[in-house]
Amino acid sequence: FKEAFMLFDKDEDGTITMAELGVVMRSLGQRPS
């Protein structure tokens, strides 16, 4: 889990920002609006 989380936590602050969450969702085939 930690390795997958680190792939998307680009600034390595331990949280996923809204922008990073958008990247996660798009990588899963979703289209956030």
Which domain does 28 fall in, by range? 1-33
Judge contact between 29 and 22, C-beta under 8 A.
no
Please give the pLDDT value at position 13. 93
Considering its fold, how many domains does the chain have in total?
1
Please give the pLDDT value at position 30. 94
* pLDDT tens per residue across span 1-33: 889 899 899 999 999 999 999 999 999 999 987
Please give the pLDDT value at position 17. 93
For 9, counting Cβ atoms within 10 Å of its Cβ (0-12 exposed, 13-18 middle, 19+ buried), the class is: middle
Report the CATH number at residue 19: 1.10.238.10
